[in-house]
Each structure stands twice: as C-alpha cells, then as structure tokens.
A and B are shown apart, each in its own frame.
Chain A
C-alpha cells in the first residue's frame, strides 16, 4: 500500500496538522511503509468473526440523572490560551 502526496495532504487536512511541502515526500514514504506492514492482516481469514468492540465482557453502566457537576466557569476557563467575558475565543468563524 503506497500513499501518494495528495492522499497525505488530504489526511493531514482532516487531522488539522500543517505539513510543509518539503516534508511531504518523506512522510508519504514513512506512512506507505507502515501501511505495507499492516497489510499482512489481509491474509488472516476473518469470515464470520465479529469485530471486537470491548475487551471487558460487560455492558455499559448507566448513571442516575442528577446534577453533580458544572458551576465552575473559572476552572473551565483557567487554562484557556484566550478567553473573554466568560467565553473561550477563537479567530472569527465566517459562515
């Protein structure tokens, strides 16, 4: 399996990681190697096998519907790189 530069650019965009043009070739090579390595799974017969969704043989625990959290805007905003008037702020999103 080999990933071309366009594919790498596309997944980097999906993952929101900026990639410099000069790094694309090298990265495409590395990722292709990895994909070639994992390609070996195709030789395993998995007909009729259900994908494993959890390690533990248990089902989802349910919680009571009670308010136990919140009311701490200062703590929520404390680590924010940018905040104003009780809001997080980001560059303006135009729609």
Chain B
C-alpha cells in the first residue's frame, strides 16, 4: 500500500512522525490536588499551584506515574526507573508558571512499539521513541470579547502523556491506523479515555517529504493540535503536497509550527510562534529525580489487561476468526468482552457473525453505545441458543432480534409472546407437507423426473403454510422422502 505522490519532477513519499498528547486518567492533577474533570465552570478547578502563585510548589501524583508506566508496558517499551522532570520555559497567557513541567532528556518511558493492523490483514510495526509525563496548559478563549482573550486555568496542570512515534509512518492512512491503534491500547489500559472531541487526546504531526528511493530526512513541519483522526490525515495530505510544490518550484521548506484549518482544509504558519523557539530546558529544582522501584513496575505489569494484539491472536486461534473479524472485535475492550460473552459455550463463528452483522448494524442504527447496547450479550447468546436447539429458524431469529432491539425484551419472552416458536412437531409438519404435495401433483412429477431444484419451491410453500415456523431441516428431510420416495 505504498503511498506515492506524483509530482512534476517525479514520485515522492511522505515521512510522518506523530506526537500524541494523551490526558492521563486521574482524579487530581499531576502536581496539585485540584480536580481534572472536563467541563467545569472557569477557574473552579484551580489550585494556587496551577495558577503559578508565588511560593507554590509541585508534588507529583503517584497514580499519574503508575499510569505512565502502565502505558509504557502496554507499548512494550523500556521503563526508565530513574527519570527527571525538566522545565520547558516559554511565555504564554495560559501557561501560568512561565514554564511547563515536562521531561526532556530522561523520560519515564523509552523505546517501544505499536503494531498497525492493515486492511489486508497484515501488520506493520511502528516504533515509539519515548513517552513522557508533563503538565497541560490552561485554555485561552479568543472569541468572547472583541479585544481580549479570556483565560481559564482548569486544565492547567492536568497530567498528559506525550507519546512520540519514530518517523516510521508513510501515509495518511497509516497515520490514521496508528492513532486508532494507540487509542485502542490506551483505552484498554484505562490510562486515557481517548476522547479527541474533549481534547483528552490531541495530535501534533511532523511531516516531511522525499523523493521515492531516497533515505534522507528533509526539513519537517509540525502541525499542532489536530483534534480528529480525519483532520490529521487531511493535514498530512495537504502538507505533503505543499512541500512537494515548494521543492519542485525551487523553494525551500523552513522548519516551523503550522496550524490546521479544518474548514479550508489547509495548514498555515502560526505567526505567533514564529519567534525562535528556545525552551531553555533544565531540571526542575523543585522536584527531585523520580525513582521508581522494579517491584512497582512488576506490580503494574502483573495487573495489565490482555491487550488488543494478544487478544486478536487469541481470538484467531481460539475461536477460528479471520484477522479482519478479530481485529474489529478487539478494537474496543468492551466489544471484545461482548463477543466473548456471546461466544462462551456456543459456536464462535455463529457468535461472530451475529455480533459483526446484526448487532453492530443495530448499534449503528440506534446510535447506542457499547456501554448501553441495544441488545445485551446475554440476550444475544440466548437467541443463538434458541437457534441451536431448533426453537427458532435462522429467519425467525432475525425477526426476533429486530423485536429485541425494539422492545429490549429477552428472546425467550418474545418467542412466547408472539408464538414464534418453530414447529418441530412431526405430525404438524407432515400434514403441511402432505397438503402441499396433494395440491401440486404436476410439480411432484417434475421433481420425480429429475428437476430436483424444485424441492426448494416446496420448502417455501410449506414454510409459508406454517408462517415460517416449521423447522426447515425437518421440512427438507420429509419432502425429500415423500416426493422422491
């Protein structure tokens, strides 16, 4: 799936590295005891530490440290038992201390990997450069006043994990798959909710291009704070094209920070950030080096959930699912659990077909979520059981499923209420078969003469006569016997 951009002078490829800022799930902030909940009234979740008041000092939240370690383990990364917090110095209205406490040359997590699931069922490994902990800034609101910006510090100091990929991505599609997979891992780990609309997962994309076949790394531009996977892809596409156009007209790309305009679908230079970046990193003297024990890491490791890659492999081996189905089912922990509940003690293929087919269709159609699904896993399992024990035919089961979505009732209850129970009484089926045979002697003759495909027509007539309730297998068997003798 090589992604090649044709230019005037030849073919180009794009080199992409992503920096994801993932908000850590914790009750309180990284260095203060203020709450982290989204959507509160302005400046109500602010301690004097978050507001950078004189003499205020940071004290680190142990859960945020544990969450970073857990995420590192989930990315199969090296955990650094000693890491150092550094100050990144710059002035901005929503950065109260005048510096962001981050990690620079000694991050808590080192190199790891994310495995992309490509649409053809194959996989590709993308390197993780590092993961570090840092504080979020506050929020500047520019549209509340004609000449003023408004500053809300609720988000100031909330813990973020900055997860930096290696420049291993080669197309907007891969970038999308990477973000999807990373989000899935974070959600499995419960270290970040992955909600891009609320800003709890934001992405900066570093983009450069080079002629196909070249291994050089050309000047990259950083597109800041893109808040949906689709926008990331659009931004990369635009930016790559822009670079190629500049190079092909003899220009040069200068390293800069750019902004993605989702309405015009273009990137543009951020003038306010054009001043030379010089963050003057140095170890934060208010904080000592963070030293964690191997036991602490081992304890977190022991409690790790099964992650999407392992689960996918297991689903394929244990349930005989294909890579695609397994990949879809494991994308969210909750759907994987749903599937496993349905499949437990039942035919996994049938369970998979139901979940992937009717169930996901109903989920989409109703707009419900996995947390509050249109049909519970228990009920879906019971429905499959009713097919297995012959109570329902496949066709009837689909009707029952539709009723389950509509009413929320259990399949057994619906079968009783509507009298949908499949007829397995030999006498009743025989009577219906006999009646159809008696009414169609010419067609019986045609079957006997060898036109066996007509048997299907007989089955249909019997099913019609029994309002679909007759057991199709029994009908088939009886018809063959009676017509063909």
Contacts and interface: CB of A to CB of B under 8 A. Distances in A.
Any A–B CB pair closer than 8 Å: yes
Interface of A: 10, 13-14, 16, 53-54, 56, 58-73, 75-77, 84-95
Contact of A91 (B45, B63, B148, B283): B148
Interface string B131-172: 000000000111011111111110000000000000000000
14 contacts: A10-B276, A53-B84, A59-B290, A62-B62, A76-B46, A76-B48, A84-B148, A88-B151, A89-B151, A90-B148, A91-B149, A92-B148, A93-B149, A95-B271
A37 to B, nearest CB: 21
Nearest to B45: A70
B43 A77 contact: yes
A67 B34 contact: yes
Contact of A87 (B26, B28, B42, B288): B42
Given A59-B291, A67-B28, 12 more contacts: A16-B91, A60-B290, A62-B60, A63-B33, A63-B62, A64-B61, A67-B27, A67-B33, A69-B49, A86-B41, A87-B42, A90-B93
Nearest to A86: B42
A59 B291 CA distance: 6
A62 B151 CA distance: 30
Interface of B: 26-28, 32-35, 41-49, 51, 59-65, 84, 91, 93, 140-142, 144-153, 259, 270-272, 275-276, 278, 280, 283, 285, 287-291
Q: State the 7 A-B residue pairs at the shortest beta-carbon distance, nearest first.
A: A68-B33, A65-B63, A70-B34, A62-B62, A69-B47, A87-B150, A69-B33
A85 to B, nearest CB: 7
Which of A13, A88, A90, A95 counts the most chain B CB atoms within 10 A? Answer: A88
B26 A73 contact: no
Contacts of B32: 69
Chain A CB within 10 Å, residue with most, of B34, B43, B276: B43
Contacts of B288: 53-54, 56, 58-60
Contact of B147 (A13, A16, A92): A92
B278 A14 contact: yes
B61 A93 contact: no
A84 B65 contact: no
B43 A95 contact: no
B29 to A, nearest CB: 8
Contacts of B144: 85, 87
Contacts of A13: 275
A43 B291 CA distance: 33
Contacts of B44: 70-73, 86
A94 B272 contact: yes
Contact of B149 (A16, A67, A69, A92): A92
Contact of A65 (B26, B43, B285): B26
A92 B145 contact: yes
B129 to A, nearest CB: 23
A60 B291 contact: yes
B65 A62 contact: yes
A69 B44 CA distance: 10
Nearest to B49: A69
A32 B441 CA distance: 114
A67 B40 CA distance: 14
Given A13-B275, A63-B62, A91-B148, A70 B93 contact: no
Contact of B46 (A64, A66, A70): A70
Contacts of B291: 59-60
Contacts of B61: 62-65
Nearest to B272: A95
Nearest to B278: A14
A77 B150 CA distance: 12
Nearest to B65: A62
A54 B84 CA distance: 11
B297 to A, nearest CB: 14
Contacts of A56: 288
A40 B290 CA distance: 33
A53 B141 CA distance: 38
A87 B46 CA distance: 12
A61 B59 contact: yes
B145 A76 contact: no
Given A60-B287, A70-B34, A89-B148, A76 B142 contact: no
A48 B290 CA distance: 22
